[in-house]
Amino acid sequence: MVIRTQYLERLRPFYDSELVKVITGIRRCGKSTILRQVIAEIKENGIEDSHIIYINFEDYKYHKLTDADAFYEYVEQKIVDEGKYYLFFDEIQNVNNFELVVNSFRATHNVSIFIPGSNSKLLSGELATHLSGRTVSLRVLPFNFMEFCQYKDISAPDYETLLAEYMTYGGLPLVCGAANKETKEVILNNIYDAVVLKDIVMRNKIN
């Protein structure tokens, strides 16, 4: 796994902050991986599992929590003391009126909240309006070339060949791990279609 050092360094000063950490970026650029790396770091700092609440709203077992009231009740039941809780809500844009629930947690509990997502609803300006400016935004990009080379993990890398591949297919982690040209192109086309359909057409109600 490539440690996304540049993003972790920008997030660390806010690990214990009441500001809601909003992590945005194109689909499949590695936001969820950064979230897991943050969780690993706070565990290394002594935070117990009982004070870490992680929900991935793309996981079907949480599908009932896409209702705001159900989401609120689920998390409320897990906050049982006055200690600081670390809340990680992946793809939270799937929850109706999620910003109201998140703001309630921020205002009424000792929590640090992280919400990554790819949907345009998580653009920092719009979300900051809903959360009264109580956010700090981090824009995540796919692998840069150095990270791309680390991901390839080649003992004697041919940098010209790697650069040509990187310039052709980019740094999306899922694409970087694909075995051949055909697979890379299929993955890129699928991501492109998802971005256009879900983040542009459906979001903006374009016919």
Q: How far is CA 62 from CA 21, 35, 74, 193, in A?
A: 21, 18, 10, 25
The whole-number average pLDDT for the span 112-139 is 73
Model pLDDT, residue 111: 97
Mean pLDDT across the chain = 90
The whole-number average pLDDT for the span 181-198 is 90
Model pLDDT, residue 75: 97
Cβ(57)–Cβ(89) below 8 Å: yes
Q: How far is CA 123 from CA 57, 116, 164, in A?
A: 18, 10, 32
pLDDT level of residue 87 (50, 70, 90 thresholds): very high
- Whether the model clears a pTM of 0.85, i.e. scores above it, the answer is yes
The whole-number average pLDDT for the span 28-36 is 92
Q: What is the DSSP string of 70-84?
A: HHHHHHHHH--SSS-
